[in-house]
Amino acid sequence: MNAQSVVVIGAGPGGEAAAKQLAERGVAVTLVEQGPLGGLCLNWGCIPTKILLEAGRLSHQARTSAVLQGGRDVGVDWEKLQAKKRAVVESVRAALEHRLAQLRIRVVQGTARFLSDRTLSVTGPAGNEVLSFDAAVIATGSTPFFPPPFDTLTDSILDSNRVLNLSILPRHLAVVGAGAVGLEFACLFHELGAQVSVIEKKLQILPGEEASVTRLLQKSFEKRGMKIYTDRTVAQAQRLADGWRLILSDGATLTPDQVLVCVGRRPVPDALGLDAAGVSVDNGRVGVNNYMQTSRAHLYAVGDVNGLSLLAHAAAAQGVAAANHILGTCLPYDNELVPRCLYTWPEVASVGEWTHSASLKNLEVKAQRFFFQGSPKALASDETEGFLQILSEKGGGRLLGAQIVGPHATELIHIFSVALAEKMTVDRLRQVIFAHPTLAEGIREALCR
């Protein structure tokens, strides 16, 4: 495609990646954003939550270490932590603004709506402006979803945005939804001293993840004092003078002072006027091919809005794929190569196939494990909880995927990401020389069993 001008709608990870890639190749890019640059990831998601979680992890490590003297007196200064969060977010946003200016990307503040497949209007503080373009990238993200009975209580409950700015820490926090976001906040606030109750409608926490991984994680949480209620929903929610009264579907009653609802997110493409652009929407999501093209070949959709993945790094990879296709380079996006990370303690990470997903494809799977209890490095750091699992195809030894629960899982998983991207076999991965003592050498140990 010979596009001279491109409009990117949304300045989160997907839109940012697409805009930069295009501008670096000389395309005139206009970036439209109705909120602060960086989107959910920078302002309310990945970055601020990881700042909070890292403080919690350090506190946990100091309290539970066999040799450090902090003991249970170790704590987190919530006000100082909030100040650090704000400072880091502002610093990263300033760096982003500087880079966009360097690339001569025009940033327009406001809400975009398509008028046709070649024009859109932007309504913002500066008034209304009509933009024309050769191609457009839709990267408008998603919004939190609130099921009954919380759909009528959105002004009173906490969501993943509001919980970041609490001035007073809760005594008892009920977390509804045991996906990645819910579990990270549960882990954090328990470390900060709150009583935590987690409610999940599915049979296991972290739905979709390997069952052996979630069992270990749940056992770790419960051992530390968290209450986990799976296979249950909140049937009734009543606001009290000093908190909440929640009645679960099995009749159990909880009385937390704060309720955090993290049951998922959904794209909201309706406000974009996609009908005027001729873009098809299926069940609230914009359908795309492997190059992120919508039903209109010159219009692309990346990130949460297409429903392929709700991960920031997936959105960024999709943004690059879309930009490359606009530039005439066909490098398809592969959703199976996206690593999935959970920043609790212990951490959880996976990439590629799970055993249950591989079985649905009629693949014969060989699973090989290494437990961190056998790692000298893990023993040295008092982080022996967990294991890594490597899945390969029986017979040929083709690497299919990996799951890790334990120390630094979110960093270790990228070894498998590279191996999968390079289509390595188990035999080839076994030949890699890992340093000793490291956590990573557990990979070779697993493959030699």
Residue 34: CB partners within 8 Å, gap ≥ 6? 109, 110, 111, 112, 124
C-alpha to C-alpha distance for 3 and 133, rounded to whole angstroms: 8
- Cα-Cα-Cα-Cα dihedral sign, residues 418, 419, 421, 422: positive
Say which of 98, 356, 414, 436 is annotated catalytic. Answer: 436
Helix axes 13-24, 312-326, angle to 10 degrees: 30
DSSP 291: T
Residue 391's alpha-carbon distances to 212, 394, 402, 412, 421, in angstroms, are 14, 9, 6, 15, 15
Give 440's Cβ-side CA count (13 Å radius). Answer: 14
Residue 411: CB partners within 8 Å, gap ≥ 6? none
C-beta separation of 357 from 365 below 8 A: no
Which stretches does DSSP call E strand in 145-211?
172-176, 195-200
Residue 266: CB partners within 8 Å, gap ≥ 6? 142, 143, 145, 284
- Is 436 tagged catalytic? yes
Residue identified by tokens 């290494």 is: 370
Backbone angles phi, psi at 273, to 5 degrees: 65, 40
Residue 206's alpha-carbon distances to 34, 82, 88, 312, 384, in angstroms, are 32, 27, 29, 18, 21
Known catalytic residues are 436
